Every structure is written in C-alpha cells, then in structure tokens.
C-alpha cells in the first residue's frame, strides 16, 4: 500500500513539474525554473581556471552570468593605472597651434614607472605611449589625473603654467581641461635678485573619458628651450576610479 502511494505521489509530482516547469522552495509563486526563497548551500564546487564568467544577481535577484572584463570595466579585465616621468632632463615639444593652444608646449615624459592595463591582443603596450607621450582611455569611465613639472631654472617675470589637455576620439585638436598658471616674479633687494615664486607647477582633475579619448600634458613657458627637471620632479599619474 505504501509503495503504491509513493508511486502515485511521484507520478503526480512529475506531471505537475512538466505542466508548470517551475519549482518553488519556500515560495508558492516561482518566477524561474527553480526559485529558492532562502539560503543556498553547495558542498562541492569544481575549479575552472580557464573560465572568465561569474554569476551575478540581477533584477528580482535572478542569477545570470557575466564576464569578468565587463564587471571590472576594462577590455583586459583591469582598470587603468599609469605613472610616467621625465628622464634626467625633460624636453618640451612644439605642436601646431591647431592642435595645442598657442603658448603651450607638450611635455615629453618617456620613463614609464607602471602601466597596469596590458592585454597582449588589444593593448600590448598598455594605455600610455612612451613614443608620443599620449594616454588613450581604454574604456569609458571616470579618470583622476595629476601632473606636475619643475623648471631647471626659474623663469623670472614670466607666466609659467602646467596643463592637462584632452582630445576627443576621432578629432585632432586638444582642449585644456585643467591648469595651474601664475607669474614667476624675480625682485631685486639691495642689488640681490630673489625669486619669489616656486619653479614647480602642478594640477589635477577628475574627468569623464570615452574610450579612445586622449590625454597629454603641457607646459606654458615663454620659450620651448626651457628645460624641465625629470625624475620625481616632473611626472604624471592617471587612475581610473570608475
């Protein structure tokens, strides 16, 4: 009798599952094939080092899969972190005024300390080009940018500044998005010349960049022949914060 009752119950459950195709645990209104209102415990989980997908919770806590790269917000699964500096001395590059605002010169910083977003297929050289001294955003996001330079000699009574320039993807001209500029003044006291402003300029900003946008750094000095101190005195950092 018990065997017949169990067989009947199993048959009924099978028909019910086939009819509704949804099973609810602690819920009478399942919205997926298996709907669990409570904790889920899995004793054994196989290891798969080659897979790049993970399970995530979406609308109504429905489980779906997504790639690690999409969740991290970068083509290589990493956000962009870059730091580069000048060499023993840092030169300035004169660009056409149609590309860079008149009076500004691009700062050459070829010594890359780190560039954490290297993908052997899409970005084998990272996000900063040490040949053109340009940073290219790998993905759309928020980037925190800092730059500073120091002149090897004080430029007296001249307007000296540092700037961050952005070029939109597909365009040729750069736009100034942040700067620190003020006069470097030299005064004479009892026939002794005194510099009353520092030779260092620095600025920073938080900017929304689209994939393919480019960042360069500029110095506003009276002559392109002005030499900047390299190393820890002239450098930039870029951190992708989102």
Q: Which two tokens stand for residue 200?
A: 């260092």
Total domains in the fold of the chain:
2
C-alpha R_g of the chain? 30
Q: Verify that 102 and 163 share a domain, yes or no.
A: yes
Give the helix, strand, coil percentages of the chain, each rounded to 5: 10, 45, 45
Res. 59 pLDDT band, cuts 50 70 90: confident
Q: Verify that 26 and 125 share a domain, yes or no.
A: no
The more confident residue out of 163 and 8 is: 163
Mapping DSSP to helix (H, G, I), strand (E, B) and coil, where does residue 55 land? strand
* Residue 201 falls in which region: left (phi positive, over 0), alpha (psi -120 to 50) or beta: beta
Q: What one-character DSSP code corresponds to residue 79?
A: -
The more confident residue out of 21 and 118 is: 21
The CATH number that applies at residue 126 is 2.60.120.40
Q: Verify that 86 and 35 share a domain, yes or no.
A: no
Q: Is the alpha carbon torsion for 123, 126, 129, 135 positive or negative?
A: positive
Lowest mean pLDDT: which of 27-36, 80-89, 101-110, 116-125? Answer: 116-125
Q: Verify that 91 and 34 share a domain, yes or no.
A: no
Contacts of 130 (CB under 8 A, 6+ apart): 84, 110, 111, 112
Which pLDDT value is given to residue 75?
A: 46
Residue 141 has pLDDT above 70, yes or no: yes
What would the mean pLDDT of 171-186 be, rounded to a whole number? 86
Domain range enclosing 232: 81-240
Lowest mean pLDDT: which of 15-24, 53-62, 139-148? Answer: 15-24
Q: Which two tokens stand for residue 42?
A: 């899995």
What would the mean pLDDT of 144-156 be, rounded to a whole number? 84
Q: Verify that 103 and 30 share a domain, yes or no.
A: no
What would the mean pLDDT of 115-125 be, rounded to a whole number? 63
Q: What one-character DSSP code corresponds to residue 170?
A: T
Q: Is residue 54 part of a domain?
A: no
Q: Verify that 26 and 115 share a domain, yes or no.
A: no
Which pLDDT value is given to residue 112?
A: 93
Residue 74 has pLDDT above 50, yes or no: no
What would the mean pLDDT of 37-43 be, rounded to a whole number? 76
Res. 13 pLDDT band, cuts 50 70 90: low
Is residue 131 a contact partner of residue 201, using CB atoms and an 8 Å limit?
A: no
Q: Verify that 107 and 168 share a domain, yes or no.
A: yes
Q: What one-character DSSP code corresponds to residue 117?
A: -
What whole-number percentage of the chain has pLDDT above 90?
Answer: 35
Q: Is residue 165 part of a domain?
A: yes
For residue 110, how many C-alpha atoms fall within 13 Å in the half-sphere facing its CB? 9
Average pLDDT, the chain: 79
The more confident residue out of 92 and 3 is: 92
Is residue 94 a contact partner of residue 224, using CB atoms and an 8 Å limit?
A: yes
Q: Verify that 117 and 235 share a domain, yes or no.
A: yes
Q: Verify that 115 and 170 share a domain, yes or no.
A: yes
Res. 108 pLDDT band, cuts 50 70 90: very high
What would the mean pLDDT of 75-87 be, rounded to a whole number? 79
The more confident residue out of 163 and 223 is: 163
Q: Verify that 149 and 203 share a domain, yes or no.
A: yes
């Amino acid at each position: 009798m018990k065997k017949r009752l169990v067989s009947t119950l199993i048959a009924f459950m099978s028909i019910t599952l086939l009819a509704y195709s949804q099973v609810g645990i602690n819920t009478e209104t399942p919205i997926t094939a298996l709907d669990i209102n409570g904790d889920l415990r899995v004793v054994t989980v196989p290891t798969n080092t080659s897979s790049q997908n993970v399970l995530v919770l979406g609308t109504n806590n429905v489980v779906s899969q997504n790639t690690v790269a999409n969740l991290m917000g970068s083509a290589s699964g990493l956000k962009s972190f870059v730091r580069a500096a000048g060499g023993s001395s840092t030169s300035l590059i004169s660009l056409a005024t149609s590309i860079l605002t008149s009076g500004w010169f691009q700062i050459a910083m070829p010594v890359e300390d780190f560039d954490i977003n290297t993908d052997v297929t899409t970005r084998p050289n990272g996000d900063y080009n040490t040949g053109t001294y340009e940073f290219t955003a790998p993905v759309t996001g928020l980037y925190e940018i800092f730059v500073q330079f120091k002149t090897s000699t004080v430029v007296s009574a001249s307007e000296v500044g540092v700037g961050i320039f952005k070029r939109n993807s597909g365009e040729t001209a750069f736009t100034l998005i942040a700067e620190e500029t003020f006069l470097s003044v030299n005064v004479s006291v009892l026939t002794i010349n005194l510099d009353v402003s520092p030779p260092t300029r620095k600025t920073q900003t938080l900017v929304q960049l689209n994939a393919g946008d480019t960042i360069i750094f500029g110095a506003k000095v009276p002559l392109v022949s002005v030499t900047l101190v390299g190393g820890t005195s002239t450098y930039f950092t870029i951190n992708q914060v989102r």
